[in-house]
Structure 1
Amino acid sequence: MRNLILQATSAVALALALTTASEGRQDAPANTDAVVRYETGFFDRFNPVTALDMIQQLPGFALSSGDDDRRGLGDSFGNLLINGERPSNKLLTLETVLGRIPADSVARIELIQEALPQFDMRGHARLANVVVEDNGSSGAWSFTLERSDSNRIGPRGNISWSTRLGSAEITMSLNGELYGNRGRIDQQVYSNGGSELTETRRINEQYVWAPLRSSFSMNTPLGSDTSLRLDAFAEAWVWHLDRWRQDFDPADPGSEPIALERGFTENHGSNYNISPTLSHGFNDRWSSNTTLLVRRDRERQGPHHFNQWQAGVGFVGASVIEGDYDIEETALRQTVSWNPNERHSLEFGAETALNSRDSDLRLFTDDGNTVTEVDLPV
């Protein structure tokens, strides 16, 4: 469990017209049969910096990204709308999208509690629609120091910026963190059906997790009835582990360890994703959406070193493991929507997806003199 030590946040906005912060705000939601509207004044007590801070305080609502572990795009639609439209698909998390919107740019949040034809529920019982005002250029940043369970202090920061370039709306963000934790595990090994204690173990672990993420979104009209949305995301990360294991004789627990093992590794990886969506309205009843998703993940594990020592002998051997993993996904989804009247809507869709995984695992042994590769049956 992490504990908050220090947090600094800020939001800046540039606009052609300035209004007071309290103008048009209410403290209580305005209710209708199907929609509950929460004006920004309702969230002022929570001192929100971004739209994510506001959504987390929305009564009776829990943010869900859908099933984004499956291949393709069909089940990856969450329960969030931005100005009546889904802001992303499988590429960007909803937390990322909301974290890029300054609270000052939010006009209100609507909680949709019934299926309405103008909102595609996608199987969700409720939707949250964040209505965002065009305030020119705006940005937000946050910086947090967090304490881990082992009293290690790690920083976390986020910066986002939204602007307009001609008729195109552009949003960018950059965030990263450095998290390290230390743990200790004590184990006991029994034999003879659990009646005889044969060994005690002490394991100490230290790991470090350091990701850096960036995202980019652009929404631009291509005519009176056509628009293009482009989402892009990139991430690079490093994960480091140092693990010590000591084995003791239970008959003499205060003695030196009878065996010692050290495992250490540094893994790193990167991934990038891009997804353009072309929307077109044929008339008041018919519209279409074409979405392409391209994802590429690269992970390099190791080398993992597992070195072993024994009392009175010294170094007795080591094993080394290396792994390379490449994952790719390309998906194309086409939908056509028909709204025959104000109470009904019907969507036709088709999708194709191509997924692949390329894995390479290598094992070596080290007897102190030579390093030998082990042939694996896979």
Structure 2
Amino acid sequence: MSEALSGRPGVKTEYRRQIRRSVMMACLCGAALAAPTRAPAQEAAADAATPPAEGKQIYNAADFARFAPKSALDMVREIPGFVIQASDDDRRGFGQASGNILIDGKRISGKSNDAEAALGRINARDVVQIEVVDGATLDVPGLSGQVANIITSVDGLSGNFRWSPEFRTRQTESRLLDGEIAVTGRSGALDYSFSLSNLSARLGNDGPEFALDGNGVLADLREESLTWYQDTPRAAATFKYVTPGGSIANLNLAYARYYFSAHEESLRSFPGTVDRRRDFYDREREWNYEVGGDYDFALGGGRFKLIGLRRFERSPQSQRVFLAYADGRPDTGTRFDRDTDEGESILRGEYRWRGGSADWQVSAEGAINTLDTVATLAELDASGAFQPVPLPGGTLEIEEKRGELALSYGRAIAAGLTLQSSIGGEYSRIIQSGAGGLTRTFYRPKGFVALAWKASPRLDISARIEREVGQLNFYDFAASVNVSGGTQNSANPDLRPPQSWNGEIELNRSLGAFGSLKARGYARLITDVVAQVPIGATGEAPGNLDSATVVGFDWNSTFNFDPLGWKGAKLDLDLSFKRSRLRDPLTGEKRPISEDLAHELIVNFRQDVPGTDWAWGAEFEHYRQTAGFRLDQHSRFLTAPGDLGVFVEHKDVGGLTLRAGVSNLLDSHERLYRTAHVGRRTGPIAFYEERSRGWGPIFAFTVRGSV
């Protein structure tokens, strides 16, 4: 997907929030809907789970009745204090289990088949119960902290659907085609699902930008606007077959398109300069597919699982910038094009068995990752035609062949205390062609030790120490240009995969009828961290620095007001802090990792009004990231004061759930401050840029249903 608007962090941040929430806050126009009284059997159920059984928190359908869920995803999102871990399509191969969702005790099959997609296809009526347990107590190596296991029973055909139109008051056309429809069923021993979805975005903002010279004197005034259109239609199918002997086969198929277009218009004028109009265009038309599956069967005294995957992506991208002058001089412009093919093939085998009081697993994995990219650069001549400009390192073929072997061990070592561990190693060979091409071989140790302690019926404590090998972004090897921000990366064939020691401790505390809370602290010691490094006398590119440290804290809690007499009301609080440090390659001073999370706050209030099918609520979100650093400039992006929205929801309009509301009630603006230097950041200041852009209120509406 396009990285062209890396100089536009505000829009990227806004879209990140849209992905994480299927619907933004929505307008109060739903108040005109009829409000039939809910039958007594449907009255609000307690948010607290059934009392723990064998270290598990058990949630049944009645615990979610007040929310009228349509899918398993709707149910999991309402588990007190529980947050679904975001999927990571870029993780290194399959490795051991990750995330915090299991379905019928098994990790989700496939790679792009992420947790939210898989849960969204399961009808709420097919969920028998949800078990929340510490992952280190399970016989699934790699899991730690709170894990939700969704127990299902599919009988016949069922389906879910969602439609989420959105309407903005400034700069952007309406979003009308965001939604999903999924069908699941069972025929004999075969479970199947089919889904069609489109993740759509219609984003935009506008406002002034001020350019100042190196002395801080105003030198240019600009009125700017940006529109961002994106659609990702996707078709997917999953099949699961259980043989009479208990063998389990899964097959996952997916095909998707990615349509992206952006346009930034900048009208520029200032006394003593020629009036100008700058237009920037960014476009990408991608298609991709994934075919994956696994087969799990009894072998000897244990079980063997064979996993395979093939993914491919073709991504043609184009950026163009034009400057037109009011005095009639010829237009100037730059064009950057890049055509890329990416591939990934994985074969993995896992054999697990019970030995005495311990669970054992030995695993082996082989993978081949490839990238073939051709990038070109051109400048507009006086006749209006683009003429090629040399771009050394823009064309690249790279292949990584990787293999890993691991042995895992888990057992209860005392009453309420469980150990899980793994030790292994990885071999990788990176082969790249083109200018300065290299072939390099790496051997890396990896593994972890995790402990889970049931300190009391209401308190779980888990700890984990891990040695991790990171994944390289193959795009970082090739030369690239961002014509919007006016920056360029040289080719760098000498990138090494980062490694880190990771440690974390997590506490999960049940508050009974009052709710629950989770607190997690973590730290990372990274070697060969990837950051911008000097290339030659004037160039720069992603490269490796010796080390970096990261510490962070996450808090997730749900507080129910029912015991205080405010029936049906609850408050969810999610809070994250992160601090990172590395040594700047130019100044030698310590600074944060570029454009990393600094803190994030999400406060969500909801009341399901007793005796009715109505719910209402509000949400506030505030996000902050660290400064961005290149070798010739640094920038700071802020969004203030934060996103506040309100919503109203009716849970039974002809069997549908309708939600409507409005967000950005505080009129948040993105603000960007950029300082560019002559040569390196240690040289004199060339200019400053300051901008403020707003996007106004956002009205949204969501229809959800199931059949």
Give the TM-score band, short-chain normalised: 0.7 to 0.9
C-alpha distance in structure 2 between counterparts of 1:310 and 1:184, whole Å? 22
Letter in 2 for 1:142: R
C-alpha distance in structure 1 between counterparts of 2:245 and 2:160, whole Å? 32
TM-score by structure 1 length? 0.86
How far off is 1:298 after superposition?
A: 1.2
C-alpha distance in structure 2 between counterparts of 1:124 and 1:149, whole Å? 44
* Structure with bigger RCO (C-alpha 8 Å, 6+ apart): 2
C-alpha distance in structure 2 between counterparts of 1:69 and 1:33, whole Å? 35
Pair 1:115–1:317, CA change in 2 (3 A): closer
Show the 5 A alignment for 1:180-259.
180-194=202-216, 196-249=217-270, 251=271, 258-259=275-276
Aligned to 1:165: 187
How far off is 1:67 after superposition?
A: 5.1
- Is 1:55 paired with 2:69? no
Aligned to 2:150: 130
**Pick from 310, 313, 332: which aligns with 2:325?**
310
Consecutive unaligned residues of structure 2, counting only runs of 5 or more, are 1-13, 15-23, 31-39, 394-707
Pair 1:331–1:7, CA change in 2 (3 A): farther
C-alpha distance in structure 2 between counterparts of 1:153 and 1:327, whole Å? 33
Pair 1:57–1:358, CA change in 2 (3 A): same
Does the 8 Å contact 2:189/2:243 carry over to 1? no
How far off is 1:158 after superposition?
A: 0.8
SS in 2 for 1:77: coil
Deviates more, 1:343-352 or 1:34-43: 343-352
How far off is 1:336 after superposition?
A: 0.6
C-alpha distance in structure 1 between counterparts of 2:241 and 2:29, whole Å? 35
C-alpha distance in structure 1 between counterparts of 2:355 and 2:29, whole Å? 51
Pair 1:66–1:198, CA change in 2 (3 A): closer
Aligned to 2:335: 320
Number of aligned residue pairs: 356
SS in 1 for 2:84: coil
SS in 1 for 2:105: coil
**Pick from 103, 106, 112: which aligns with 2:133?**
112
SS in 2 for 1:331: strand
Does the 8 Å contact 2:87/2:115 carry over to 1? no
How far off is 1:188 after superposition?
A: 1.7
Show the 5 A alignment for 1:146-165.
146-148=166-168, 150=170, 152-155=173-176, 156-165=178-187
Pair 1:62–1:170, CA change in 2 (3 A): same
Letter in 2 for 1:72: G
Pair 1:356–1:192, CA change in 2 (3 A): closer
How far off is 1:134 after superposition?
A: 2.2
TM-score by structure 2 length? 0.47
- Is 1:361 paired with 2:375? yes
Aligned to 1:300: 316
C-alpha distance in structure 2 between counterparts of 1:277 and 1:148, whole Å? 44
How far off is 1:299 after superposition?
A: 0.8
SS in 1 for 2:107: coil
Does the 8 Å contact 2:98/2:143 carry over to 1? no
Letter in 2 for 1:160: A
SS in 1 for 2:92: coil
Aligned to 2:414: none
Aligned to 1:269: 286
**Pick from 311, 321, 340: which aligns with 2:355?**
340
C-alpha distance in structure 1 between counterparts of 2:312 and 2:210, whole Å? 43
Aligned to 1:278: 295
Consecutive unaligned residues of structure 1, counting only runs of 5 or more, are 9-20
Runs of 4+ displaced beyond 4 Å: 5-8, 65-68
C-alpha distance in structure 1 between counterparts of 2:173 and 2:386, whole Å? 37
RMSD of the TM alignment (CA)?
Answer: 2.7
How far off is 1:376 after superposition?
A: 1.9
How far off is 1:181 after superposition?
A: 1.7
Letter in 1 for 2:344: E
Deviates more, 1:179-188 or 1:102-111: 179-188
Pair 1:243–1:75, CA change in 2 (3 A): farther
